[in-house]
Structure 1
Amino acid sequence: MHIDSFFACSNSNIDEAEFVVFGIPYDATQSFKPGSRFAPNAIREASWNLEDFSLFSRFSLYRAKICDAGNINVDGDFEAVASRVEEFMSGLSGIPIALGGEHTVSYACAKNFEEVCFVVFDAHFDLRDKFDGNPFNHACTSRRVYELGHKLILIGVRSCTEEELQFAEEGGIKFYTSFDVIKKGMAAILKEIEGEISDRVYLSVDVDAFDPAYAPGVSTPEPFGITPFDYLAFLEKFADRIVGMDVVEVVPDSEKVTQILAAKLVVEFIARKHTSSFFR
């Protein structure tokens, strides 16, 4: 048994699972540090370092039904990959948890949902129409999701072009910079967006949303980030509304700090879905 072959708490078959973990090891457009194609298996390996019990939620993950369905075949262009993701997700009854891969895989997942609010933790707006001539570049993900008609809320952003900022403001896109999080506090922001968020949330976590001190192994690190506790605060408030999620842009680091954080994000999401609150 190789510990990078499946997520540590997997205990169910795909038909009975409440949560379905799967990898999308695609990183064809990463523009600074490539390597997120190695993240799904690195996150799986890191999950074995974690206890199956969440102290925050007082919940053992073995009480949940979790299936690791392996990796999506990422041969070919992005459209081919997205088609395979769509085929795979069409047969799921459990909540999908995708392990990227670069951020474009979030679009491949989110487009399979109707009437969801797309909430993304990200250092970058990702609202470019094209980057390097490609509309399906990791720098365009939120733009493509916005075009699906989903409501879009960005948290932790601190890097963009002038054009992206203008697009966000003119399009009525809700965004909160990392400076907003620090100055206002996450609790105030969550209260502010409560009325904006529908009963169905798709959560995308680009791990570069967190400060590089917490997540050094990402494709495009950006200083002055938020903390993983801000993510936990979001789960505390809205986990019961989340119908799918992904964790993307991890480029495994040699000390395994980032992939362990990524695995912990998944563990705490699953635990929180089964409990009424954190921080007891």
Structure 2
Amino acid sequence: MHIDSFFSLSNSDLDSAEFVVAGIPYDRSQSFLPGSRFAPNAIRIASWNLESYSSIFDVDLDLLRICDAGNINVDGDFNVVLKNVENFVSKVKDKVLISLGGEHTVSYAVVRALGNDFCYLVIDAHLDLRESFDNDPYNHACTCRRISELGIDIIYLGARSYTKEELEFARYKNFKIFKPFNFKIDELEDVLSSYDKVYLSIDVDGFDPSFAPGVSTPEPFGLNPTITLEIFRRFSEKIVAMDLVEVVPDDNYVTPMLCARIIFEFLASKSLSSTEKL
């Protein structure tokens, strides 16, 4: 089997692409298991194991125009990373961007560069609403706090581990929290009906560790990742960009493979009109 250092579906240059994949291998603040800087390339390797036809959405992904733009430079402090991400995003604002973290702070960098005319739908075990953690306001435990300061509404799916102070702040901001235990997709649809655009962030620890063991901060009793397929069926028209973050590649590539498949199915669903979806 052929394996290369770019995402297997990449078949276009940046100017011609409809979809752009970019890695942001930044993991300087991870507080439990480090190593998500290796995730973008691990997801790329995993992608070569997957068929380019989506049996779920009946789409031949080889027919889409997809560019793997490589990894954004993350040398320097986080302010330098913010500037590098901003420069890159300015070149792809007319395309659908799929960012590969890296820790969750890279999501703030992308959102900040894109603007605030969308809601932030985040699959995550945690609320990430701390004002600061380890004396760092740009710690991965502070991502959603920083995003909230951009004036963006946040909707959580799968949250189950947080401090009382974080929960109180979320309630103060009227952020919607769907726990994984009794979640119903129709309830999410009711909330998203108020928004024309959605930024989807997938912190992979939102899924149960039995499905995604290779994450920085695993948390039991999480979501089944098949929930993403229903999200794509119902809401892909609204999703303007997506990221996958907090993956620390496991030896058997279970988690990078899951991420690669999620990207494949997002691409497939996004390429369809709502009337064509199964």
TM-score, length of structure 1 as denominator length: 0.95
- Partner SS for 2:241: strand
1:251 aligns with 2:253: no
Q: In 1, Cα distance between the equivalents of 2:15 and 2:256? A: 28
Counterpart of 2:187 in structure 1 is: 189
Counterpart of 1:44 in structure 2 is: 44
Counterpart of 1:219 in structure 2 is: 216
Residue 113 of structure 1 and its aligned partner are, at CA, apart by 2.1
Q: Do 1:4 and 1:42's aligned partners in 2 also have CA atoms closer than 8 Å?
A: no
Residue 78 of structure 1 and its aligned partner are, at CA, apart by 0.8
Counterpart of 1:165 in structure 2 is: 167
Counterpart of 1:209 in structure 2 is: 206
Q: In 2, Cα distance between the equivalents of 1:180 and 1:80? A: 41
Counterpart of 1:95 in structure 2 is: 96
- Partner SS for 1:126: coil
Which string of whole-angstrom CA distances, capped at 9 and with x for unpartnered residues, describes residues 29-86 of structure 1? Answer: 0000000000000000000011100011000111110000000111111110111010
Q: In 1, Cα distance between the equivalents of 2:192 and 2:79? A: 34
Identity %: 55
The amino acid of 1:103's aligned partner reads H
Q: In 2, Cα distance between the equivalents of 1:226 and 1:243? A: 23
1:92-241 to 2 correspondence within 5 Å?
92=92, 93-114=94-115, 115-181=117-183, 185=184, 187-196=185-194, 198-241=195-238
1:12 aligns with 2:12: yes
Q: In 2, Cα distance between the equivalents of 1:5 and 1:223? A: 33
Counterpart of 1:80 in structure 2 is: 80
Q: In 2, Cα distance between the equivalents of 1:86 and 1:279? A: 33
Residue 5 of structure 1 and its aligned partner are, at CA, apart by 1.5
Matched residue pairs, number?
A: 275
Unaligned segments of structure 1, at least 5 residues:
none
Residue 279 of structure 1 and its aligned partner are, at CA, apart by 7.5
Q: In 2, Cα distance between the equivalents of 1:3 and 1:19? A: 21
- Partner SS for 1:178: coil
Q: Of residues 244, 268, 276 in structure 2, which corresponds to 1:271?
A: 268
Q: Do 2:155 and 2:175's aligned partners in 1 also have CA atoms closer than 8 Å?
A: yes
Moved over 4 A (4+): none
Unaligned segments of structure 2, at least 5 residues:
none
Q: In 1, Cα distance between the equivalents of 2:252 and 2:277? A: 28
Q: In 2, Cα distance between the equivalents of 1:94 and 1:192? A: 27
Once superposed, what is the RMSD of the aligned Cα atoms? Answer: 1.5
The amino acid of 2:5's aligned partner reads S
Q: In 2, Cα distance between the equivalents of 1:252 and 1:276? A: 34
- Partner SS for 2:157: strand
1:24 aligns with 2:24: yes
TM-score, length of structure 2 as denominator length: 0.96
Counterpart of 1:66 in structure 2 is: 66
